[in-house]
Structure 1
Amino acid sequence: MDNNLSKSRPERTFQYQSSLPSLPVPLLETSLSKYLDAVHPFASEEEFKATADIVSKFQAGVGKELHQKLLQRARTKRNWLEEWWLDTAYLEVRIPSQLKVNFAGPGPYLEHCWPPEEGTQLQRTSITTWHTLQYWNLIRTERLHPQKAGKIPLDMDQFRMLFCTCKVPGVKKDTIRNYFKTESEGPCPSHLVVICRGRIFTFDAVCDGQILTPPELLRQLSYVKECCEGEPEGDGVAALTSEERTRWAQAREYLINIDPHNNTILEIIQSSLFVISLDETKPYSTPENFTNLTQEALTGNPTIRWGDKSYNSLAFADGTFGSTCDHAPYDAMVLVSMCWYLDQQIKVTSGRWK
């Protein structure tokens, strides 16, 4: 997996996008044959024969007509499947996303640099946030090397959805809002959102064109923590993102109707680079067991997780990390690529700011 900033190679992150081939439509016979192969182990001989007869009639009848319509659709779209898959698998689904659709997991950094340690949460968060911002900048300036299978370039479009992206609930169907732009395309949001004890904060991660250093990020995070200490828990509005989708959409509209400024606040959260959750939990168990950490990332305190964000970094009280991510904008390998980059950078610096 090659995510290194390449000095010798001129290739830019998205340079192959327009030259990638369209998604091919498989032959009807091939699809039906694969279907029968999949069914066979689960059917009796009598059931399989009946199924094969139905498939044969479908292939000779309505299947031909449907296949021609599919070919016609493929002539006008580079990816004839993507829109259908996105709607059916993610946007029209009404079950709670955060628990049943999102993907989540532990940060691996504790294996070599950051074993659990009290009092390290904010310092480590400032460092991992800084490296994450460097990765965002690699994509924004198109210096992240395009991923390839051998010498064949792969589609990098989903990397545009890692930052500045959020799913917004609808009564019948959700939508994805992506605010990311490359440097050549124009201005891109550069603010972060931090959630702590049910309260939501924001600050810009870039000043005068420069990404804030870890000490500067630490100062911001420390201020957030100080604001929350000794105070009652906030309203925990983020918990609404763990609701059933239609109910969350209705609640969101209610928030906007009672005060139009709430729409501005929601827009700030949606367009942010990503969300940092300062979690007071201490989930780590043993070096051989990531179960507690993974479970906490998947099912932890909903008042400090914005479940619709494309990337929500979780910083736990014992200095360990995790993440939860809405699945609609991209597949997990995009996050794996970034986590690999973060892990390498943290390892090189022994987890310290140099």
Structure 2
Amino acid sequence: MPGTPGKGEEMASDLSQSLPKRTFKYQSSLPPLPVPSLENSLSKYLEAVRPFASEDEFKATVQIVRKFQDGVGKVLHYKLLQRAKTKKNWLEEWWFDTAYLEVRIPSQLNVNFGGPGPYLEHCWPPAEGTCLERASLLIWHTLQYWNLLLTERLAPQKAGKTPLDMDQFRMLFCTCKVPGVMKDTIHNYFKTEREGPCPSHLAVMCHGRIFTFDALCDGEILTPPELLRQLRFVKDRCEGEPEGDGVAALTSEERTRWAKAREHLINIDPHNKTILETIQSSLFIISLDETKPYSTPENYTNMTLEALTGNPTLRWGDKSYNLLVFSDGTFGSNCDHAPYDAMVLVSMCWYVDQQLRLTDGKWKSTLMQTVIDCGNVHFVR
């Protein structure tokens, strides 16, 4: 399994060294989400309203708030307290539904978050002809982070001595939102080693086509040279064929239309459901984008714009993580916001950034870098 010492172990992060606590150790002992008092909530509401209301408007608002507090507000607050007795997080389900799953506008353009990779600031300035080699190293470090989660060796985050909820970290890999006619759902395939087998394949998008390959061979994570071989195969294959169908563009549609289009694809051929499952369960998406954002550390505007609004045939908008590989050797990301908040991705990017700093953005394994014929790329038809 990838959790055992192996290739590139000399580059392991301090995050994984002699950790006394497992990543999800505190999950069962975390306190429930508290219910704020009705009085405190209404007081904060009045404070927020005050700067925007005239004297008469504010007085009228105060009267409405008092009436609410003594009437229906008291009844609703009691029901909220009762709900909190049976749910550890009384807000989560409502928040998911209202903010993400029931929203019908295109989520890739209106809800997703994305941005640039910081690596050009210290070791990877834009440079033609470097994108695949850099991408293989970036993917390798990302897979090391996945392995830390898989083996629960990522230290639980804390505020001082207080442990924080790590549940969203489970959503970074092998996660995808699936459209529904009325409401979407989140499909998470990630499992720790103790829980069972976890998907280990990657999906690569290039020229409107989709490829997959396994990130493991004989239980070991592919080395950067081995990953580079796979990426070059995809690139060479696409350059010799016309543009693909670009099915990924459907994920940028209005949610109900995308749900109906997805059902149509499955009705055309039941095998399409298997293909969709393969994309949904993949560790993450690798997008080989021909764009050249030419960003600088002082101005990330171009790259951020490309990450959020770039070629829709090269982003699976419902995936929790799309790694964007631009042709000028720079990188970005586009992520569905429903499964987790951006700080989860920031934590992973910080880890990768630290590893690249330590090695000057180069592959410095002391082991023999033998490219083996393992984990061959498959074209998704």
TM-score range, shorter-chain basis?
Answer: over 0.9
1:85 to 2:95 alignment: yes
Q: How does 1:150-189 map to 2 (within 5 A)?
A: 150-189=160-199
- 1: distance between equivalents of 2:17 and 2:136? 27
- 2: distance between equivalents of 1:9 and 1:296? 38
Cα deviations by residue, 1:16-71 (Å, 9 ceiling, x for unpaired): 00000000001100000001101111111111111110110110011111001000
1:263 to 2:280 alignment: no
What is residue 342 of structure 2 aligned with on the other side? 332
- 1: distance between equivalents of 2:140 and 2:33? 37
- 1: distance between equivalents of 2:168 and 2:303? 27
Which of 125, 135, 155 is equivalent to 2:135? 125
Q: How does 1:102-141 map to 2 (within 5 A)?
A: 102-141=112-151
1:311 to 2:321 alignment: yes
Q: Which amino acid aligns with 1:267?
A: E
Which of 90, 100, 105 is equivalent to 1:95? 105
Which of 54, 59, 62 is equivalent to 1:49? 59
1:226 to 2:201 alignment: no
Cα deviations by residue, 1:288-338 (Å, 9 ceiling, x for unpaired): 111001100010000011000000000000000000000000000000000
**Does structure 2 retain, via aligned residues, the 8 Å contact 1:164–1:189?**
yes
1:275 to 2:285 alignment: yes
**Does structure 2 retain, via aligned residues, the 8 Å contact 1:4–1:145?**
no
- 2: distance between equivalents of 1:302 and 1:181? 29
**Does structure 1 retain, via aligned residues, the 8 Å contact 2:19–2:153?**
no
What is residue 32 of structure 1 aligned with on the other side? 42
Please report the TM-score for the alignment, with normalisation by the length of structure 2.
0.91
**Does structure 2 retain, via aligned residues, the 8 Å contact 1:4–1:144?**
no
- 2: distance between equivalents of 1:257 and 1:322? 35
Cα deviations by residue, 1:58-101 (Å, 9 ceiling, x for unpaired): 10011111001000000000000011011000000000011100
**Runs of at least 5 residues in structure 2 that lack an aligned partner in the other structure:** 1-12, 365-381
What is residue 207 of structure 1 aligned with on the other side? 217
Percent of residue pairs bearing the same amino acid type: 82
1:345 to 2:346 alignment: no
- 2: distance between equivalents of 1:284 and 1:330? 29
Report the secondary structure of 2:202's partner residue. Answer: strand
What is residue 190 of structure 1 aligned with on the other side? 200
**Runs of at least 5 residues in structure 1 that lack an aligned partner in the other structure:** none
Q: Which amino acid aligns with 2:313?
A: T
Report the secondary structure of 1:202's partner residue. Answer: strand
What is residue 74 of structure 2 aligned with on the other side? 64
Which of 14, 25, 31 is equivalent to 1:15? 25
- 1: distance between equivalents of 2:281 and 2:326? 24
Cα deviations by residue, 1:218-276 (Å, 9 ceiling, x for unpaired): 00000000110032100000000000000000000000000000000000000000000
- 1: distance between equivalents of 2:217 and 2:93? 38
**Does structure 2 retain, via aligned residues, the 8 Å contact 1:274–1:311?**
yes
**Does structure 2 retain, via aligned residues, the 8 Å contact 1:241–1:248?**
yes
1:144 to 2:154 alignment: yes
**Does structure 1 retain, via aligned residues, the 8 Å contact 2:206–2:238?**
yes
1:252 to 2:262 alignment: yes
Please report the TM-score for the alignment, with normalisation by the length of structure 1.
0.98
- 2: distance between equivalents of 1:160 and 1:207? 23
Report the secondary structure of 1:110's partner residue. Answer: helix
- 1: distance between equivalents of 2:102 and 2:249? 20
- 2: distance between equivalents of 1:207 and 1:87? 39
Q: Kindly tell me the number of residue pairs found equivalent between the two proteins.
A: 352
Q: By how many angstroms is 1:8 displaced? A: 3.7
- 1: distance between equivalents of 2:282 and 2:113? 20
- 1: distance between equivalents of 2:54 and 2:283? 53
- 1: distance between equivalents of 2:113 and 2:272? 28
Report the secondary structure of 2:291's partner residue. Answer: coil
Which of 330, 333, 355 is equivalent to 1:320? 330
Q: By how many angstroms is 1:6 displaced? A: 4.2
- 2: distance between equivalents of 1:19 and 1:127? 37
CA RMSD across the alignment: 0.8
**Does structure 1 retain, via aligned residues, the 8 Å contact 2:292–2:327?**
yes
Cα deviations by residue, 1:164-210 (Å, 9 ceiling, x for unpaired): 00000000100000000000000000000000000000000011110
- 2: distance between equivalents of 1:178 and 1:70? 29
Q: Which amino acid aligns with 2:311?
A: N
